A and B are shown apart, each in its own frame.
Chain A
Amino acid sequence: MAVQPTHSSNRILLPARSWFITLSIAVALLLNLIPFGRLPGVPDWVALVLTFWCIHQSLKVGMGSAFFLGLAMDVADGSVMGQHALAYVLLAFAAGGLSRRILWFPLGLQALHVLPMLLGMQIVMLITRLISGGEFPGLLWFLSSFIATALWHPLTYMLLLPQYRPTDRDDNRPI
């Protein structure tokens, strides 16, 4: 039982369930596996969900999970092993470190904190691959971070939904 992290409301949240965290990350992995080819602006769902849990549950999800998720993405993408792992670990470090600060802001300002973290992750990946002789994917590639940032608001509500449930069952209550 804890106080809801957002400043605007003092509603009490239930503790997060581990199985729900795992499920949300698995769904994000599945979404990332959808082959959109070179379509610009498709958000990196795994990075986004990882950032969310690193900020909200920094004791449960951290750099270790980020590393293994990165390896999974490296295999799924057919990219160089370690590229996503490195970027995700740095992302998890930043998100975990800033989590106490970020949660004091309303959702719009939280998204503004998330944007540079996601962009930084993309820049880390870009540098890793350009050093090893990859091709510059064009500036439109960075669009995906902006779209992911725009999704921060709905994503927060979706992933916090199970924690909004009341503890006592009441059959007459609508929700």
Chain B
Amino acid sequence: MSVVGHLPPPFFKRGPAPLARLAFFMVLSVLLLAADLRFHTLDWVRFAASIAAWPLQRVAYLPVEAGGDLGKYFSALTTLHQENDELRKKQVAIANLLLRQQHLEDENKHLRALLDMRARQPVEGRIADILYAARDPFSRKIMIDKGMQQGIAAGQAVIDDIGVIGQVTRVFPLTAEVTLLTDKEQAIPVQVQRNGLRAILAGAGAGMLELRYMAANAEIQPGDILVTSGLDGIYLPGLPVAKVIHIDHTSSFSFARIQCVPLAGVERRGQVLVLGNRETLPAPPEQPVPQEEKSNRGKRVKKGH
């Protein structure tokens, strides 16, 4: 391994041997990997580096943006007309629902007030543009053009006009990273719209989703629509998520393999809506008995003094 190069022969100090250097850097890399994967302690490094790299990233994004603009410029007028017609038809079709929405909301509020229930929390949303899909080929993530300065926070749900597409996982000052539902490490609590059966939906890779931990005899059939159940306190209940396409009952496993496709345009470009934080659910009730005893004892001690 003598590397002489274009310099004089190594009579002088040349630092540690290549193998020693290799071992040092490999150990360092593996430590970093462990720190990031297991303990998630390196997010501040990433944050600082991403701020420094922001101008560079903008410059690198320019050719992609220019390409998109060029494509838009040449998009034929006819397609725009067609789209316009379709949108107009759609608008008329849903006008009925929209017109009655206000009425229904008022009625709902009234009824809830009558029942003395907490009014359903109004959640505001922020429209964001998808900048690009992250380059990492091992996960399914996208970057959006709204970040910390626009009030985006990690954990917020992201939807498009059809349904849920994912969740904000990292926030930078001007951008945010959204992990799509199809990512292998992303899970979402859902229920079957038809019968209210609750389950957990997780990404399965290759743009598919998988309904996990469902008994082989669970009442579910291809074509069922899955909506969010709202049990997690993150997603609002009732947002459409996915459609069941295939159920594999194998007798060797106690769970059925249920494949689903996302309803929303999860892997497409366009605009998304980032929903604001839901009011956190009340914590499950604790046993109040020992606390009461403690406070009583405290009082007694005070009285004694």
Contact = CB atoms under 8 A, between A and B. Distances in A.
Interface string A75-86: 111111111011
Contact of B30 (A70, A82, A133): A82
Given A81-B45, A135-B184, A33 B60 contact: yes
B297 interface: no
Interface string B132-155: 111111111101000000000000
Contact of B60 (A35, A79, A99): A35
Contacts of B33: 80-83, 86, 128, 132
B6 A93 contact: no
Interface in A29-82: 29-38, 57-59, 62-64, 66-67, 70-72, 75-82
Contacts, number: 150
B171 to A, nearest CB: 13
Interface in B102-131: 131
A85 B61 contact: no
Contacts of B57: 33, 76
Chain B interface size band reads 35 or more
B37 interface: yes
Interface residues of A, number: 53
Interface stretch (B19-27, B191-199, B209-217, B232-240): B19-27
Output the residue of B33, B133, B137, B184 with the most chain A CB within 10 A: B137
Nearest to A15: B6
A83 B135 CA distance: 13
12 contacts: A15-B6, A37-B135, A59-B7, A62-B21, A72-B53, A78-B136, A80-B37, A81-B46, A83-B33, A85-B29, A86-B26, A128-B33
Q: 3 smallest A-B Cβ distances: which pairs?
A: A82-B32, A35-B132, A134-B138
